[in-house]
Each structure stands twice: as structure tokens, then as C-alpha cells.
């Protein structure tokens, strides 16, 4: 039987796990709390690069105090010997007597075997505590393992009337410095950042995380079906310092391929959709196969519309600023061909002031259920 205290300790484990978001891919961002006689004796989370695993870190902190304790883990402990031995064995060896988990690990090397190993050793196991919250915190990993693609967050920085550029194309800066800082934090919590070719051409963005004191950088991606973005821009020039991957279509010219390769970028050939745009479902499958679990889309309107039309947007971070550009400004998303109003595809999950702007966060309806089933 799980208790209120179980839920509280599990929520703490889930929050600890979030610290790894953006730096543990292709692994999940797991958190672990070890509690003995109501007192926390060890805390841990998956380390950068995906190892050591959360349980190993928490057990190291707890030391001998783990004997007779309960371990709260936001994902089923692993059962396989990879570069490190199974966490289920580490918990057993440390003398943990009860393990509470939130979500079964769908990785076929684990998939219930971790729970079974613990039970076989006489450890009491309680599953499914705070499952939904844990699934959402590990949406990237669960989406990749169960559905073969990363989870996608779309960021929009809009005027009050939903525009992203003026009639003359001016788009810098709509939101203020606090919102921009927040965007850099969001980049850091994702494995990869993506923009469309139009945005890459118009803004010549760098897309690295700046001014946060973080050492790691997300992979920078451009969806550029014809590979028309010049490799001589900021992305190409910095491809040696932080990774750049170019998603392109079958007709990308050989010269452009060579320019990007010479700049140090990785080329990822993808298929096209019925409208001749990059097929984003195919592109995301290729990113999933490379281990990307969390993708942050920073526009523009064409790429955002392709992802939206394909039903591939899982979360939205929408910044609204006190500007009004009117109907001759650029809409946030390209044409979607929506005619009828069905049920809401997104639900509000949070809303807060961010400096002079407002940040609304939305989540795709039914996302948690999709993460907990194949
Ligand atoms: C845990 N705790 O903190 C994490 C787990 O490549 P390896 O050997 O590190 O194994 C990666 C797999 O281990 C990953 O796919 C997932 O099943 C599990 N991750 N497990 O017990 C953790 N990060
Ligand atoms: Zn493990």
C-alpha cells in the first residue's frame, strides 16, 4: 500500500530527476530518494551523459544508512549490465528493504525485470506511485522508447495579436530580456534545438545556450529541405564548437552538402511530405534513432505548422508581449487548413508573468496516457 508520504518522497525524486533534462540523452532523467525511519539519507539523479544512474548516486550518499531503508525511484531500476551493473542489484546489495517506483521502464532490457529482480530478493516493491507526473517529467525518454521520436516543445514569442514579425519582416525583439533568459534555460533542458530554414536565413541564429554558466550545449538543428542555408553563417562557423545537424531532403545539392560537411555539421537525409516539405514525422524518427529525447522548436511559422499539422507538438511555451502588429504582420504558424472546431488539442498547465511578458505553458491532451502505453 502506498501512503501520502510515499507520494511526497516520489515527487521529490521526480524533481531531482528533472535536473538531468537535456544532458542525459539517450538515457532517461531519473531521480532517487532514500529514506530511513522517515529521514532522507540519500538523494541522487542521473548524471550528465546518462551515467552513473540515479540509484547509484543516492546509495553512495546514503552509505550504510541504506540498510533497512526505502528507495523512491522515478523509473523502474535497471536490470541490465551495460557500462554499469544493474541498479536493482545495487539496491539489493545495499540492504534496501522497500522500493517505490513511479513508471515501468519500457526499455526492452528492463521492462519489468528490475521489479522482478527486487521481488525475487525479498524486497517489497510498490509500483505506479505518481505515475503521471513521472511520465511527464520523462516524456522525452518514454516517447523515444515507446513511439520512436523525441518529445517536442514549441516555443512561440508573440505579440498580443499572435504575430511574430511586422509587415516589413522585423521580428527582433518582441519579448524582453527576462523572457529571452528563460528561453536559454529552456534550451538547456532540451537535448536539441531546431529552427526552420526561413528562420535560419532571416535571423542567422547561433542557438547556443548563453550566460547561464552551463557547460553542455544542445544539438543545433535546421530543417532545410533544399539545404539552402549558407554554411558560412553563424551555425556553420560554430559547428566545430557545438554540434550542428542539418535535416535535408533528397534533392539537396551536392555543393551545399559538401559545404556543411566541411564546416563540421552532420547531414541527416529525410523524406518529404505530400506538400514537398520535409516530412517531420520521418525527421523526428531519425532524431529518435540517434538518441534525441527532448526537442525544442524555436520556429519559424512554416516548421511550426508542419509539426502542428503532423500532431507532433507535445508542449508549448507561449510568450506574449505587449506589442500589436495587426493582420499585415506574420502569423505565428503558417496555414493549417483548420475548418471545424473540435475538442481542445492542448490544455493549460501553467501561466506566469516573465518580466514584462506573460508565459503560458500548454500540453497536448492525452500526452501522459500516450507515454504510459505503446
Ligand atoms: C536506472 N536509473 O538513473 C537511469 C536508467 O546505457 P546504460 O547502461 O546506462 O543503460 C541505459 C538504460 O538504463 C536506459 O535505456 C534506461 O532503460 C535505464 N536508465 N535506469 O535505473 C537511471 N538513467
Ligand atoms: Zn540503473
Give the pLDDT confidence score for residue 27 in this predicted structure: 97
Q: Residue 263: which of 243, 230, 240, 233 has the closest Cα?
A: 240
Q: Report the DSSP beta bridge partners of residue 196.
A: 223
Name the H helices within the chain. Answer: 4-18, 54-62, 87-93, 113-120, 131-137, 139-147, 177-188, 197-203, 234-237, 254-263, 280-289, 301-309, 367-372
- pLDDT digits 0-9 by tens, 189-222: 999 999 999 999 999 999 999 877 777 899 999 9
- Identify the band that residue 82 occupies on the pLDDT scale cut at 50, 70 and 90: confident
Residue nearest to atom 7 of ligand 1 (CA): 82
Written as one string, the DSSP assignment of 205-241 is ------SS-----PEEEEE-TT--S-TTSHHHHTTTT
Cα of 178 vs centre of ligand 2, distance in Å, is 37
Is 54 touching ligand 1 by the criterion CB < 6 Å? yes
Ligand that comes closest to the CA of residue 138 = 1
Catalytic residue among 55, 76, 130, 315: 55
Give the pLDDT confidence score for residue 278 in this predicted structure: 97
Residue 89 has pLDDT above 80, yes or no: yes
Give the pLDDT confidence score for residue 210 in this predicted structure: 84
- pLDDT digits 0-9 by tens, 337-349: 999 999 999 999 9
Sign of CA dihedral 305, 309, 312, 313: positive
Cα of 77 vs centre of ligand 2, distance in Å, is 5
CA distances from 170 to 199, 202, 317, 329, 356 (A): 12, 10, 22, 9, 20
The whole-number average pLDDT for the span 351-373 is 97
Cα of 53 vs centre of ligand 1, distance in Å, is 6
Looking at domain 4-137, does it have CATH number 1.10.3470.10?
no
Residue 36 has pLDDT above 90, yes or no: yes
- pLDDT digits 0-9 by tens, 216-258: 899 999 999 999 999 999 999 999 999 999 999 999 999 999 9
Give the pLDDT confidence score for residue 1 in this predicted structure: 74
Residue 307 has pLDDT above 90, yes or no: yes
What atom of ligand 1 comes closest to residue 76's alpha carbon?
21
- Residue ranges of the domains in the chain? 4-137, 142-372
Give the pLDDT confidence score for residue 214 in this predicted structure: 76
Residue nearest to atom 20 of ligand 1 (CA): 78
Which of 18, 27, 54, 90 to mutate for ligand 1's pocket (most ligand atoms within 8 Å of CB)?
27
What atom of ligand 1 comes closest to residue 78's alpha carbon?
21
Q: 142-372 adopts what CATH topology?
A: Dihydrofolate Reductase, subunit A (3.40.430)
Give the pLDDT confidence score for residue 84 in this predicted structure: 81
The whole-number average pLDDT for the span 18-47 is 98
Q: What is the mean pLDDT of the chain?
A: 96
Give the pLDDT confidence score for residue 178 in this predicted structure: 96
Specify whether 127 is catalytic. no
What atom of ligand 1 comes closest to residue 110's alpha carbon?
17
- Identify the band that residue 173 occupies on the pLDDT scale cut at 50, 70 and 90: confident
229: its cell numbers: 542555408
Cα of 105 vs centre of ligand 1, distance in Å, is 9
- pLDDT digits 0-9 by tens, 129-144: 999 999 999 999 999 9
Amino acid at each position: 500500500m502506498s501512503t501520502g508520504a510515499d507520494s511526497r518522497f516520489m515527487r521529490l525524486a521526480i524533481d531531482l530527476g528533472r535536473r538531468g533534462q537535456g544532458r542525459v540523452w539517450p538515457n532517461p532523467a531519473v531521480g532517487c530518494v532514500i529514506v530511513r525511519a522517515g529521514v532522507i539519507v540519500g538523494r541522487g539523479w542521473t548524471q550528465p551523459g546518462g551515467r552513473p544512474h540515479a540509484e547509484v548516486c543516492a546509495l553512495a550518499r546514503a552509505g550504510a544508512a541504506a540498510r533497512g531503508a526505502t528507495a523512491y525511484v522515478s523509473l523502474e531500476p535497471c536490470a541490465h549490465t551495460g557500462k554499469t551493473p544493474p541498479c536493482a542489484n545495487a539496491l539489493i546489495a545495499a540492504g534496501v528493504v522497500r522500493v517505490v517506483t513511479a513508471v515501468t521502464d519500457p526499455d526492452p532490457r528492463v521492462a519489468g525485470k528490475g521489479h522482478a529482480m527486487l521481488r525475487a530478493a525479498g524486497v517489497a516493491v510498490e509500483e505506479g506511485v505518481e505515475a503521471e507526473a513521472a511520465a511527464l517529467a520523462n516524456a522525452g525518454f518514454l516517447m523515444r522508447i515507446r513511439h520512436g521520436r523525441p518529445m517536442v516543445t514549441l516555443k512561440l514569442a508573440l505579440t498580443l495579436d499572435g504575430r511574430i514579425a511586422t509587415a516589413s519582416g522585423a521580428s527582433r525583439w518582441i519579448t524582453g530580456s527576462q523572457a529571452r533568459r528563460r528561453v536559454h534555460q529552456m534550451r538547456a533542458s532540451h537535448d536539441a534545438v531546431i529552427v526552420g530554414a526561413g528562420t535560419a536565413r532571416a535571423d542567422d541564429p547561433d542557438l547556443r545556450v548563453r550566460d547561464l554558466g552551463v557547460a553542455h550545449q544542445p544539438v543545433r538543428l535546421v530543417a532545410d529541405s533544399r539545404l539552402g542555408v549558407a554554411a558560412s553563417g553563424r551555425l556553420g562557423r560554430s559547428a566545430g564548437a557545438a554540434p550542428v545537424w542539418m535535416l535535408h531532403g533528397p534533392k539537396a545539392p551536392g555543393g551545399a552538402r559538401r559545404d556543411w560537411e566541411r564546416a563540421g555539421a552532420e547531414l541527416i537525409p529525410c523524406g518529404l511530405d505530400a506538400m514537398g516539405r520535409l516530412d517531420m514525422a520521418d525527421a523526428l524518427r531519425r532524431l529518435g534513432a540517434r538518441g534525441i529525447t527532448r526537442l525544442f522548436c524555436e520556429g519559424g511559422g512554416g516548421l511550426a505548422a508542419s509539426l502542428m499539422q503532423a500532431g507532433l507538438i507535445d508542449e508549448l511555451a507561449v510568450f506574449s508581449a505587449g506589442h500589436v502588429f495587426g493582420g499585415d504582420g506574420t502569423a505565428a504558424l503558417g496555414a493549417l487548413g483548420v475548418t471545424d472546431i473540435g475538442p481542445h488539442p492542448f490544455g493549460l498547465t501553467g501561466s506566469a508573468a516573465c518580466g514584462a511578458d506573460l508565459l503560458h505553458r500548454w500540453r497536448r491532451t492525452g500526452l501522459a496516457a500516450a507515454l504510459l502505453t505503446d
